[in-house]
Amino acid sequence: MNRHLSDDEIAAAVAAEKLAPERARHLEDCVPCRREVDGLLELIAERRRALEAEGPDFEKQRQQILEGLAHPAAPVVALHRRHIWRPILAAAAALVAVVGIWLQMTRHRPAAVLRPLPVEQILSDVDATLADRSVPGFESLDSMIPAPDEMASMIDDTKTAS
């Protein structure tokens, strides 16, 4: 198969993924495909070298680390101390917030609770409204409900029939 590698296959080759055997063979033999893959790998390697050139004096760094082994406590202890205080401070802050909210709520609640509802007044208003035949909308309802004497004769008829 002489078809050149696709973009996907070249990306796969650069990322060191396994190509199908015949595609891998093609890559070995095909100069343009090889150039594509090697070109990108060389560029990446070049950037890595540039990054590495920024590195510190590694022998000096090693010596500093070994010296640090003799006094390891300083940074670690500082870290622990901060970690111990953090939850305590968080709990204290939460407690203050809860107490604050509770105080706010208790300060406003009595006014709302202590004022009694005028239940009797409301019920008598409702009765008066229901008794008022002039209220629009009740007429149709009245025409649907039979009068009490009509209702009694309807009940008698039902009993006689049964």
Chain residues that interact with another protein, rule: CB under 8 A: 7-8, 10-12, 14-17, 39-40, 43-44, 46-56, 58, 61-62, 64-66, 68-69, 72, 75-76
Q: Which two tokens stand for residue 25?
A: 């063979």
Smallest Cα–Cα separation from 36: which of 62, 63, 7? 7
- Between 15 and 111, CB nearer to another protein: 15
Q: Residue 36 CB, nearest distance to another protein (Å)?
A: 8
- Between 75 and 146, CB nearer to another protein: 75
Ordered DSSP codes for 109-147: HHHHHHS---HHHHHHHHHHHHH-TTSTTHHHHHHHSPP
CA-to-CA dists, residue 40 to 17, 49, 73, angstroms: 15, 14, 46
> For residues 22 and 33, what is the distance between their CA atoms, to the nearest angstrom?
14
> For residues 89 and 10, what is the distance between their CA atoms, to the nearest angstrom?
55
Q: Residue 26 CB, nearest distance to another protein (Å)?
A: 18
Q: Residue 55 CB, nearest distance to another protein (Å)?
A: 6
- Between 81 and 108, CB nearer to another protein: 81
- Between 7 and 28, CB nearer to another protein: 7
Q: Residue 24 CB, nearest distance to another protein (Å)?
A: 16
